[in-house]
Amino acid sequence: MEPFKTIKSIATPLDKVNVDTDQIVPKQFLKLVQKTGFGQYLFYDWRFTTGGLPKEDFILNNPKYRDSKILLTGENFGCGSSREHAAWALLDYGFVVVIAPSFADIFYNNCFKNGILPIKLDNKKIESLFKTNSEIEVNLENQTIIVPNETISFDIEGHRKKTLLEGLDDISITLQYEDKILQYEKSRIVS
């Protein structure tokens, strides 16, 4: 995984609550057996007409946000299915930061496994971001979001921050505990 670097970009405002992973990647695109190439399917049914043409009124189709790396959205983002394809699609499309008042648990977890930073911010701070029209800077090291005239700080669990900043692979970390796992396996009561 790539180490997470400071991100400077305009934020795409997707003003919806309870955006579920079925919307992030509709199920007809879950049949690929690799992790790449899902960006073209991101928010597919919202982004394209049944004929496959871009829907002009959908925010991602606004040229202003074409190179945006930051997605700004509402409560409970990523609810529903556990499909990691949702994280892969966001990343493949170009989003590396998602800012919302809250996230669904599995999605939140999946973000960190793929180098995406999900930031939980209270509604008031989010509202001010929704009003910002210029570039914002997300600095994970300092845990800050810098908007013109304002610096907003955010919380993140220390170990998650470390994982992202160093681009660590969970499995290598776990394998260092091999002796503990073996020891545990000897004590199991259900075979």
Partner 1 sequence: MPKTLFEKIWDLHVVVEQKNGPTLLYVDRHLVHEVTSPQAFDGLRMNKRNVRRPDLTFATMDHNVPTSDRSLPIIDQISAKQIKVLEKNCKDFDIELFDINSPNQGIVHVIGPELGITLPGTTIVCGDSHTSTHGAFGALAFGIGTSDVEHVLATQCIWMEKPKTFEIKIEGKRKNEHAVTAKDIILSIIRHIGTAGGAGTVIEYTGETISDLTMEQRMTICNMSIEGGARAGLVAPDEKTFAYLKGRKYIPKNYDELVDHWSENLKSDPGAHFDKIFTLHVDTISPQVSWGTNPAMTTDVTSIVPFPEEYAKGNQDEEKAAIRALQYMNLKPGTPITDISIDRVFIGSCTNSRLDDLIEASKIVKGKKVSSKVRAMIVPGSQLVKKQAEELGLDKIFKEANFEWRESGCSMCLGMNPDILVAGERCASTSNRNFEGRQGAGGRTHLVSPVMAAAAALAGHFMDVRELDLN
Least CB distance from residue 79 to partner 1, whole Å? Answer: 6
Least CB distance from residue 187 to partner 1, whole Å? Answer: 9
Query: Which CB sits closer to partner 1, 134 or 187?
Result: 187
Least CB distance from residue 137 to partner 1, whole Å? Answer: 27
Query: Which CB sits closer to partner 1, 146 or 165?
Result: 165
Buried b (16+ CB within 10 A) or exposed e, 174-186: eeeeeeeeeeeee
DSSP states of the chain: -PPP--EEEPEEEE--SS-BHHHHS-GGGTT-SSSSS-GGGTTHHHHB-TTSPBPTTSGGGSGGGTT--EEEE-TTBTBS---THHHHHHHHHT--EEEES-B-HHHHHHHHHTT-EEEE--HHHHHHHHH--S-EEEETTTTEEEETTEEEE----HHHHHHHHHT--HHHHHHTTHHHHHHHHHH-S--
Query: Which CB sits closer to partner 1, 62 or 109?
Result: 109
Least CB distance from residue 21 to partner 1, whole Å? Answer: 9
List the structure tokens of 101. 């008042």
Query: Which CB sits closer to partner 1, 15 or 141?
Result: 15
Least CB distance from residue 191 to partner 1, whole Å? Answer: 5
Query: Which CB sits closer to partner 1, 63 or 158?
Result: 158
Least CB distance from residue 75 to partner 1, whole Å? Answer: 7
- Residue ranges binding partner 1 (CB under 8 A): 15-18, 20, 22-23, 26-28, 30-35, 45, 50, 74-76, 79-84, 87, 102, 104-106, 109-110, 113-114, 157-159, 170-171, 174-175, 177, 180-181, 184-185, 188-191
Query: Which CB sits closer to partner 1, 8 or 35?
Result: 35
Cα gap 15→115, rounded to integer Å: 24
